[in-house]
């Protein structure tokens, strides 16, 4: 397993919805697409490993995956597409097993998928202790080689930047 947290890519998280199914327009394959730009929001996507895409897809979406494509992660909060491929295939939020942090404001959606940090946990810790141990705790786990971001985090890379941002935002909302 690679050291996923040494990557500079961005990551996200997803919530499972066992009732969702793939419709004809959910998984699209076209040959003439810009492989770097999301076909929905036209924002640049971050390159992502196939292992991440495979681990995040629900079984019915995984059965449709074209593994010969290179995929990118769309972090745009307003876009339903999470992964898009170089040959036009894409997967939406409803095709994933987990909620994606970048695409959700739900306080229970994980910011750190490996060690269970979410906005509520960070906020509670800040309210009770005046500080958060999220960044130092996750950093210690990374140093010990325990992270598995490439299979747990929808963005396919380390969450530490996202966690630090959430700690700062929550601290500012509580203490100004």
pLDDT tens across 52-65, in order?
999 999 999 999 99
Overall domain count for the chain = 2
Q: How does DSSP classify residue 31?
A: S
Q: What is the pTM of this model?
A: 0.80
**Domain match, 37 and 105 both:** no
| Domain, as residue range, for 68 | 17-97
**Domain match, 157 and 125 both:** yes
Question: Which among 48, 81, 97 is the end of a domain?
Answer: 97
Q: SS3 letters for 83-143? A: EEECCCCEEEHHHECCCCHHHCCCCCCEEECCCCEEHHHHHHHHHHHCCCCHHHHHHHHHH
Query: Is 55 contained in some domain?
Result: yes
**Domain match, 30 and 92 both:** yes
pLDDT tens across 128-171, in order?
999 999 999 999 999 999 999 999 999 999 999 999 999 999 99
> What's the whole-number mean pLDDT along residues 87-108?
97
Query: Is 59 contained in some domain?
Result: yes
What is the CATH number for 47? 2.20.25.270
């Amino acid at each position: 397993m690679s050291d996923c947290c040494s990557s500079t890519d961005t990551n996200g998280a997803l919530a499972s919805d066992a009732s969702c199914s793939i419709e004809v327009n959910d998984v699209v394959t076209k040959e003439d697409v810009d492989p770097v730009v999301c076909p929905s929001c036209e924002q640049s996507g971050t390159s992502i490993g196939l292992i991440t895409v495979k681990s995040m897809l629900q079984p019915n979406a995984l059965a449709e995956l074209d593994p010969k494509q290179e995929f990118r992660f769309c972090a745009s909060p307003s876009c339903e597409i999470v992964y898009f491929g170089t040959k036009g295939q894409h997967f939406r939020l409803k095709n994933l097993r987990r909620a994606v942090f970048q695409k959700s404001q739900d306080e229970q959606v994980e910011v750190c998928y490996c060690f269970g940090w979410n906005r509520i946990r960070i906020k509670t810790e800040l309210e009770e202790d005046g500080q958060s141990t999220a960044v130092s705790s996750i950093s210690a786990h990374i140093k010990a080689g325990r992270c598995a971001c490439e299979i747990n985090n929808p963005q396919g890379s380390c969450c530490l930047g996202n966690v630090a941002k959430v700690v700062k935002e929550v601290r500012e909302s509580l203490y100004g």
